[in-house]
Amino acid sequence: MKVKPNNYIALEFLSRSANEGFARTAVAAFAAQLDPTLEELGDIKTAVSEAVTNAIVHAYPDTLGKISLRASIFDGILLEIVVRDKGRGIADIARARQPLYTTGGEERSGMGFTIMESFMDSLVVRSEPGKGTVVTMKRKIARRGTKL
């Protein structure tokens, strides 16, 4: 059975680098209703920035394509972020997730997935070469003063 979120936003934007700031700021503004700490908000923005940048750099290396982003709140405390592209896909996900591994040239550090992993509670990457990639990240935001 599919659990319905309490709330969600869905965005679609072109894979232009200039949209990185828009994407992370939009998710941060949406997440604000969970009353996150500054540190939690920073972690979420960073993870979104990494996922969106990966799609921009790797999914559509020589072309512009659509990136869709959905942020949902479940159970009033769980933030789920899904970044989806229809780009060239990742042939070897395990390798792509390794720290310092990059095919992105000198502007990239190869630390994108490592940062998503360490800043979020869970990270699932599904990809099919030629079809696209779906990155799903989850993070519990404990309301301040309440215990999980």
Partner 1 sequence: MDVRTTTKGRALTVRLRGELDHYAAREAILAVERALDAALPSSLTMDFGDVTFMDSSGIAVAMRAMRRMAALGGTSALVNVPPQAKRVFDAAGILCAAKEETT
* Nearest one of 51, 80, 75 to 139, comparing CA atoms: 80
Q: How far is the CB of 4 from partner 1 (least distance, A)?
A: 31
| Runs of H (alpha helix) within the chain | 20-31, 38-54, 93-96, 112-119
Q: Is 50 a catalytic residue?
A: yes
Binding site for partner 1 (CB under 8 A): 17-18, 20-21, 24, 38-39, 42-43, 45-46, 49-50, 53, 56-57, 99, 106-109, 111-112, 114-115, 118-119
Q: How far is the CB of 113 from partner 1 (least distance, A)?
A: 9
Residue number with CB closer to partner 1 (45 or 88): 45
Rg over CA atoms, the chain: 15
Q: How far is the CB of 126 from partner 1 (least distance, A)?
A: 21
Q: Active-site positions?
A: 50, 54, 108
